[in-house]
Amino acid sequence: PAVVGWSISFAGCGFMGIYYVGVISCILQRFPRFIRDASTIYGASAGALMAAIITLGIPLGEWGFSPARKHKLGPLHPAYNLLQLVQESLLEKLPEDAHLRVSGKLSLSLTRVSDGRNLLVSQFDSREELIQALICSCFVPLYCGVVPFHSSQYYVDGAVSDNLPRCQLGRTITISPCAGESDLCPRASTLTFHEVRFNNVSF
């Protein structure tokens, strides 16, 4: 019998997010209804961006950022503003009705600065509010600059408080670029008897 009512959760992973492109390309080729029929698609940090892209059905080939390798220090070079590149891409690629299309299906993990608590946001009143929530979810403290706000409060990277949203719920398929116990993740290159958990992500 067909499994119904599943969700998908993407872990935050920084620059390792390119792993998701391969995973999603394979899924779209072999089993597209896995994404199309998911009840909720969760994401934290870089995983939030991928969750939004696939919820909207935007072709993966349309996304790309200025290569960091052109700077000597790569993404750590002061001239490389990753957050600005993300914001510009979102403004360019997200359709005007993006907030209507994702509300109730996309759920983003944010960390509230005032008390460090996690917030899952799944309703968006405007395209601008959706973009702001995505920026907050992948905002790495110190690296990204001034703390952004969403709905009149300050939030930072959702990975700080919950890096794999709703992973404990049944029928939630977890995806991570780190070898560990997520449902979809790389195989460990060596035999190991140790596991570390950080904000719900297995390493």
Q: Which residues are catalytic?
A: 45, 157
Contact 19, 177 (CB under 8 A): yes
C-alpha pair distances (Å), 84 with each of 58, 128, 196: 20, 15, 32
Rounded to whole angstroms, the Cα distance separating 105 from 55 reads 8
Rounded to whole angstroms, the Cα distance separating 11 from 179 reads 12
Structure tokens belonging to residue 86? 């993300």
